[in-house]
Structure 1
Amino acid sequence: MTGRDLARLPKAHLHLHFTGSMRVETVREMAAAHGIRLPRALDESSYPPRLSAADERGWFRFQRLYDAARHCVRGEADMRRIIREAAIDDGAEGSRWLEIQVDPTSYAPYVGGITPAIEIVLDEARAVSASAAETGAAQVGVIVAASRIRHPLEARTLARLASQHAGEGPGAVIGFGLSNDERRGETEDFAPAFRIAERAGLLLAPHAGELLGPTAVETTLAALAPQRLGHGVRSVEDPRVLDQVVEAGVGLEVCPGSNVSLGVYGDATEVPLRRLVDSGAQIALGADDPLLFGSRLVDQYVSARADHGLDDAEIAELARNSIRMSRAPGGVREQSLADIDSWLADDRSSSL
């Protein structure tokens, strides 16, 4: 199926994790520089790894590989490199605005604490955004994400840290999230952290509805009052819950490559993207963890066309949704929406 060049389609990227954004070549170079031996699944002979998180054992394997990559990030220079490469890679795929999720506790031991860790990320986000016109990189906002597998009190600490750096535009903390295995922890226990973030005016974007079904989505909506959900794809399993999502105007960050790689669906055609689109839900496509899933942002748009039969007008609306759901500055939003219209008006075809 052919159509307009999807890499030229202006878009925002709203679901990308800091460690998971890394180029595999970067991980290998960092590992070599720090004398770290990587798991076989990250070497050239077996990459990308075969993954599944359908059960606890499968999730453990995914988490082990993720932790191995994170272990290679040993200081300020490595952290800055990740942000810069993520912004450049996204820009090459048409992304004008990137909201990257980071848990600063993972990198704090190498830079003197969680405050220096988040400040390094924000400083590099500002720097790469300032040069975006010359480099073609996406501009970058930051979502601080707590982990479900840690104590909820740590989430409150991170929410306060995020609040201290809350702002608008590139190089600011624009949101607060909750990630990791959604089968762990009690969602309601994280509500106080989300109320801290809410008072600071931060976007609330927890994960829910990928590894668990619609009940988890409903619980998250009630307990955390999010504006967006990381994934949320399994809300389609209960029409009542999907109606709640649509009526509340909660955006869904749908990551088809992640869904398939983690065994939520058997193949790309089983991801219920068409049903979500037809429901009227606000949807933005995301790549989640390209390092481990082997697919980047534009691949998700390719799948929307090839696996779900979305035409270019529908794909353009997904891109518009990604801009509207974002915290991108007004100028970026207005120009991106205008450029999406121009992309759709251009009938030159491509094989992408």
Structure 2
Amino acid sequence: MERVRDVTELPKAHLHLHFTGSMRPATLLELADKHGVRLPDALTDALSGGHSPKLRATDERGWFRFQRLYDAARSCLREPEDIQRLVREAAEEDLRDGSGWLEIQVDPTSYAPRLGGLIPALEIILDAVDTTVRETGLGMRVLVAANRMKHPLDARTLARLAVRYADRGVVGFGLSNDERRGMARDFDRAFAIARDGGLLSAPHGGELTGPASVRDCLDDLAADRIGHGVRAAEDPRLLKRLADRQITCEVCPASNVALGVYEKPQDVPLRTLFDAGVPLALGADDPLLFGSRLAAQYEIARRYHGFTDAELAELARQSVRGSAAPEDIKAKLLSGVDAWIGAVPPGED
């Protein structure tokens, strides 16, 4: 049997990780106890038992249930030290999985009521990232994301704030939550503000809705990256457009299955996207709720889609190229990928 290389040792970038969703299950349970928060039974039963809650968000009721669990977890983040702990632990998990660069996605308005307001909330988050970078050595930045369930004017306010803090570690602007709600074009002004301020455009699209939502992100929001984007596989012309323009899709295989977008890991169109030349950046999305972190996404590509070590190395390169990392960090990570694929797998020497 052919020996394979350890994917946790493959240098890579992580471009799709949500803030609360990055939390360790044990941390959530401890914070809930600390603050006297009663979490939903569906969450505590699953996490206490060492497994993920049962989720399916392909209908609005299912999405509401998913969002309820996420909101309950977020309500446990109440003090600056909670934020610091989350960021530090997210970095530690990423380092364990071979990540050399992490762009963590957050809507600071969700944390503002408990952290003294919108600006203090973002500053607390950015301070936590600064401290974590110094202490762990992981390259880490923030992608500020608007909520498409809220008014587009709120997104403009958030875009201006994100630009204001571009020199403090904000590198991109996103659009999250249920993509079946709100049109991408409603948020075009917010994204124009972000792009004019030098931020990457990285909205969600092509997960719960079809290829049209990916096209809308390209046409209306001038996306540099697409959060998810897997449904583009249903449209060959769109695949070619993404490949020709080298628009990176942040694909999160485990969450696609957990949310019911695809029935089984082998149904996620990783191979279709990869073979079409669409750059991919595998991501964990919300490991708190989906149960698997970054390296596990590479294992899915290997186990269910037949990706060779050379192809996994190319996936890692694509994640690095699609990131907002400085050129020297990109070069270091890409060199590390070459070293990983150049090394002899265990048992073959």
TM-score, normalised to structure 2's length? 0.96
SS of equivalent residue, structure 2 residue 345? coil
Structure 1 Cα separation of the partners of residues 213 and 112 of structure 2:
31
Structure 1 Cα separation of the partners of residues 70 and 114 of structure 2:
18
Structure 2 Cα separation of the partners of residues 267 and 349 of structure 1:
30
SS of equivalent residue, structure 2 residue 69? helix
> In the alignment, does 2:187 pair up with 1:190?
yes
Paired amino acid for 1:301: Y
Partner of 1:24: 25
Paired amino acid for 1:20: G
Structure 2 Cα separation of the partners of residues 45 and 258 of structure 1:
19
Structure 2 Cα separation of the partners of residues 189 and 65 of structure 1:
27
> In the alignment, does 2:114 pair up with 1:110?
yes
Contact in 1 for aligned 2:211/2:238 (Cα 8 Å): yes
Contact in 2 for aligned 1:41/1:48 (Cα 8 Å): no
Q: Of 54, 57, 62, which residue of structure 1 is paired with 2:58?
A: 54
Offset of residue 331 of structure 1: 2.3
SS of equivalent residue, structure 1 residue 154? helix
Partner of 1:145: 145
Contact in 2 for aligned 1:147/1:180 (Cα 8 Å): yes
SS of equivalent residue, structure 1 residue 175? strand
Paired amino acid for 1:16: L
Offset of residue 47 of structure 1: 3.3
Partner of 2:96: 92
Paired amino acid for 2:313: A
Spell out structure 1 runs of 4+ moving beyond 6 A. none
SS of equivalent residue, structure 1 residue 210? coil
Partner of 2:248: 251
> In the alignment, does 2:49 pair up with 1:45?
yes
Aligned CA RMSD, in angstroms, stands at 1.2
Offset of residue 142 of structure 1: 0.2
Partner of 2:293: 296
Structure 1: state its 5+ residue gaps. none
1:223-238 matched pairs, under 5 angstroms: 223-238=220-235
Report the number of matched residues.
343
Partner of 1:159: 159
Q: Of 276, 281, 284, which residue of structure 2 is paired with 1:284?
A: 281
Paired amino acid for 1:10: P
Paired amino acid for 1:97: W
TM-score, normalised to structure 1's length? 0.95
SS of equivalent residue, structure 1 residue 98? strand
SS of equivalent residue, structure 1 residue 284? coil
Contact in 1 for aligned 2:12/2:320 (Cα 8 Å): yes
Offset of residue 46 of structure 1: 7.3
Structure 2 Cα separation of the partners of residues 212 and 112 of structure 1:
36
Contact in 1 for aligned 2:3/2:345 (Cα 8 Å): no
Structure 1 Cα separation of the partners of residues 239 and 41 of structure 2:
40
Offset of residue 40 of structure 1: 1.6
Partner of 1:326: 323
